[in-house]
Amino acid sequence: MVLSLLSAAAGAAHAAVPSWAMLAYLVSGVLFILALRGLSSPATSRAGNRYGMLGMTIAVGTTLVTHEVASLPEIIGALAIGGGIGFIIARRIAMTDMPQLVAAFHSLVGLAAVLVGWAAYLNPEAFGIADVVAQAVPHASNIIALGSNSSDPAAMTKVFEESLRMAQLKAEAPAPAIMLQSCIELGLGIAIGAITFSGSVIAFLKLAGKMGGAPILLPGRHVINLGTLLAILGLVAYFTQDQSLWVIGLITVLSFAIGFLLIIPIGGADMPVVVSMLNSYSGWAAAAMGFTLHNTAMIITGALVGSSGAILSYIMCKAMNRGFLAVIAGGFGAAPEAGGSGAPKEQRPWKRGSAEDAAFLLKEAENVIIIPGYGMAVSQAQHALREMGDVLKKEGVSVKYAIHPVAGRMPGHMNVLLAEANVPYDDVFELEDINAEFGQCDVAFIIGANDVVNPAAKSDKSSPIYGMPVFDVDKAKTVMFIKRSMGGVGYSGVDNDVFYMDQTMMLLADAKKMVEDIVKSLQH
């Protein structure tokens, strides 16, 4: 009953959108699907990106054509300013900075959603969500109530004055009533947008190193977070009854706060999950706005982006063998686990190698598997690494790259860096495709990775990374481990048995410098 009433009202309000425009929005939605579909292989990906651009052009064009534009220059100016900034950023950004760029972009989508939500709240008529009936009723009933209470002339004058005041109020009305259903959509859209914004800002600061990567833990944070979330939901429900400024204001403020609170306890290496999750949120925010505007392009896109981010978060969590909730709860790596690696830490012997030693062994090898990690990104060693690969290939060595799903700070981070350095993507393998090959591998060359090769994940149940799929580098004949020093351990804070194996050679230096030295020795 309620639903059919709502839909009747909605139908009436949206009758203004011509059907060809609805078709155009549908077409742009389909083009966005094709954009993602194109990414199934590098060969089709560029066509996919063009579909995406076309879809966006159609969506923007349709909106401008079907709405009476009060002042086109302002809009074109806004598009040009934003477009110019975006274009320059996209041109200048270093590939290693991609995770923070993506986080920054997410924050913009979130903030845009909040602004659009507020704009719709302040001018519901323009968005076709004003409830014409409800708007008139309270005013009329107010006046009638006043009039029926008494019949003396003073009261009548009051009624007259009241109706005048109402008319005045209406002329400068801050917000005519909004339809019930739209209230919920709007409230949720603003809330998700605000969470996306503040969450992404924190993620950006952490990824860009402008804020410590270590988790910040507030006492009782779970209670605070849960309470805030419930308060937001309660306010969204209340918003349907009372559309005062303070309600929507409080929804916005609380959502900004919760986005901030949710991300600060999450540490640096869990960022792939966070970035994917925020990606997902930005989609849901767009979808919520699409519901408000009854716009198919926005709904389809929101659903696509929302599921995309959710799937990426899932893949990342699985690759760390951690529950999504555990990651979101945060605090991983904050304090070394008491169980750690059992026995009190004794000084175990390890071997240090030089670039010359490494070059000699690499030249003699038949199969080399390179495992890059975040450290490679930090020292920008990808170009030097590719050079090393090229030299080795000339010597007849088979060189492969093995990439763990959570290597780096965002999904696919390592792949992009290797692609930037012109590593052929046929040489790049995923964990499950290459892990069986370590038995026949002469040299496992680990550069800037640590936890993803830690055998404790397979054997030590007390280890915080237990159960995480890792590379079986311990099966390789020789392991070369490029690391800045013996002091630091991986993000998880767990010691790595690989350091102390007989076949392991520790190459202690900056990754880029070490690889360059190895290349020099190889060429002699």
Partner 1 sequence: MDFISILSIFVMACFVGYYVVWSVTPALHTPLMAVTNAISSVIVVGALIASAASGLGEAAGISKWLGLGAVVLASINIFGGFAVTARMLAMYKKKEKK
Site for partner 1 in 102-141 (CB under 8 A): 102, 105-106, 108-109, 111-113, 115-116, 118-120, 122-123, 125-127
Does position 175 bind partner 1 by CB under 8 A? Answer: yes
What is the footprint of partner 1 within residues 313-372 (CB under 8 A)?
315
The count of chain residues that interact with partner 1, using the rule CB under 8 A, is: 130
Which of 268, 333, 353, 411 touches partner 1 by CB under 8 A?
411
Does position 442 bind partner 1 by CB under 8 A? Answer: no
- Other beta carbons less than 10 A from residue 152's beta carbon: 9
DSSP letters spanning 259-313: HHHHHTTS-GGGHHHHHHHHHHHHHHHHHHHHHHHT-HHHHHHHHHHHHHHHHHH
Instruction: Map residues 245-284 to x or -, x wherever contact with partner 1 holds by CB under 8 A.
Output: ------------------------------xx--x--xx-
Distance between CA atoms of residues 374 and 407, nearest Å: 6
Q: Which is nearer to partner 1, 102 or 514 (CB)?
A: 102
Q: Which residues pair with 418 in a beta bridge?
A: none
Q: Which residues pair with 369 in a beta bridge?
A: 400, 444
Length of the chain: 524
Which of 235, 369, 384, 410 touches partner 1 by CB under 8 A?
410
Which of 16, 18, 20, 87 touches partner 1 by CB under 8 A?
87
**CB 448 to partner 1: min, Å:** 17
- Other beta carbons less than 10 A from residue 438's beta carbon: 21
Does position 169 bind partner 1 by CB under 8 A? Answer: no
508's enclosing H/E stretch is strand 504-508
Distances (CA, A) of 29 to 57, 60, 286, 492: 11, 12, 13, 41
Which of 216, 251, 304, 465 touches partner 1 by CB under 8 A?
304
What is the footprint of partner 1 within residues 417-436 (CB under 8 A)?
419-420, 422-426, 428, 430
Q: Which is nearer to partner 1, 288 or 476 (CB)?
A: 288
Residue with tokens 């240090």: 352
Q: Which is nearer to partner 1, 76 or 486 (CB)?
A: 76
Among residues 270, 390, 442, 451, the one annotated as catalytic is 451
Distance between CA atoms of residues 189 and 439, nearest Å: 52
Q: Which is nearer to partner 1, 174 or 339 (CB)?
A: 174
Q: Which stretch binds partner 1 (CB under 8 A): 134-142, 167-175, 211-219, 260-268?
A: 167-175
What burial class does residue 392 get, using C-beta atoms within 10 Å of its C-beta: 0-12 exposed, 13-18 middle, 19+ buried? buried
**CB 84 to partner 1: min, Å:** 8
Q: Which is nearer to partner 1, 102 or 235 (CB)?
A: 102
Distance between CA atoms of residues 497 and 492, nearest Å: 14
**CB 265 to partner 1: min, Å:** 23
482's enclosing H/E stretch is strand 478-483
What is the footprint of partner 1 within residues 55-84 (CB under 8 A)?
55-56, 59-60, 63-64, 67-71, 74-75, 78-79, 81-84
**CB 96 to partner 1: min, Å:** 11
Q: Which stretch binds partner 1 (CB under 8 A): 294-302, 360-368, 447-455, 484-492?
A: 294-302
Which of 141, 144, 157, 174 touches partner 1 by CB under 8 A?
174
Return phi, psi of residue 272, to 5°. Answer: -55, -40
What is the footprint of partner 1 within residues 4-43 (CB under 8 A)?
4, 6-8, 10-11, 14, 22, 25, 28-29, 32-33, 35-37, 39-43
Amino acid identity of 2? V
Which of 254, 286, 385, 397 touches partner 1 by CB under 8 A?
286
How many CA atoms lie less than 13 Å away from 127 in the CB half-sphere? 28
Q: Which is nearer to partner 1, 118 or 238 (CB)?
A: 118
Distance between CA atoms of residues 21 and 421, nearest Å: 44
**CB 119 to partner 1: min, Å:** 4
Q: Are 195 and 258 in contact (CB under 8 A)?
A: yes
Q: Which is nearer to partner 1, 26 or 146 (CB)?
A: 26
Distance between CA atoms of residues 498 and 470, nearest Å: 12
Q: Which is nearer to partner 1, 19 or 151 (CB)?
A: 19
Which of 20, 23, 46, 133 touches partner 1 by CB under 8 A?
46
Q: What is the SS3 assignment for 48-88?
A: HHHHHHHHHHHHHHHHHHHCCCCCHHHHHHHHHHHHHHHHH
517 is catalytic: no
Q: Degrees (nearest 5) of the Cα angle 365, 367, 372? A: 110
Residues marked as catalytic? 451
